[in-house]
Amino acid sequence: MPTHHDRSPQHPPQRPTPSRVPATHDDSPRVAGPVPITVWRLGDHDDGQPATEPGAGFASRLAQRLVLTYTSHGETVVDFDHDPHLHAAASTAGRAYLAITEPAALPTPGQIRKPASLIALHWPRHTDPSTVDQIAWLLTLCRPIMTADASLIAAVRPPQPAEPDSSFADHEHELRGAAERAGFTHVLQIVVISAPGEVDQFLYYATQTEAIHMVAQAAATTADRQVLHIDLLVFHRTGSP
């Protein structure tokens, strides 16, 4: 009998000692909303990725970790961005992969073998669906093909120089509004950083200070001080189909 995924963070055996290395503003995790924080330190190596593609190993390992954590064998991964790393991770792990970038691409429940347990997207967006209303509508349309406890995971990028009036909290607020309209609740933030040459490490129920220190410590112990970092917002489906 296959073991089902566990979407609930577990308490760590012990809490790490915070590093004294200061983090820069750009390295610091962005935190918004009163939800638990989990820090994932993932290796940035992957033999199946081209050496010429910067960050490919990190992106591949993150996709693998998300698929294994938030789905079970045979379930479907829905992707609003058609990300090649997520596609490869889903296929390798025995999950179905479905890219949906418009309502016309949405299948009926009878057209997929098993329902979707993971929906992934990037936020803010540069391609359709790009607005809060479009995301909320598409998520609502996807509900009939979802499992009862499906997860929505959004990779939220920090504000860009061309967005002087926006903040991470603004992006989180917009996305949370769209998710709630579609029947999802914000339950977790995952701070993901690269850890060259190390095994994957996880710190559950981290404080914001601990997350910042871990990013700084990774930078201090990396030869070129280039640490890959991404903030993920996790939402769980609520309510009836």
Digit-coded pLDDT (tens) for 81-117:
999 999 999 999 999 999 998 888 899 999 999 999 9
Q: Does residue 101 or residue 11 have the better pLDDT?
A: 101
What is the per-residue pLDDT for 150? 97
Instruction: State the fold for domain 37-237.
Output: Rossmann fold (3.40.50)
Q: Does residue 106 or residue 8 have the better pLDDT?
A: 106
Give the count of beta carbons closer than 10 Å to the beta carbon of residue 30. 19
Per-domain residue ranges of the chain: 37-237
What is the per-residue pLDDT for 112? 92
Query: Residue holding tokens 């994932």?
Result: 40
pLDDT at 232 over 80: yes
| DSSP result, 125-169 | -SSSS-SHHHHHHHHHHHGGGEEEEEEEEEEEPPPPTT-TT--HH
pLDDT at 200 over 60: yes
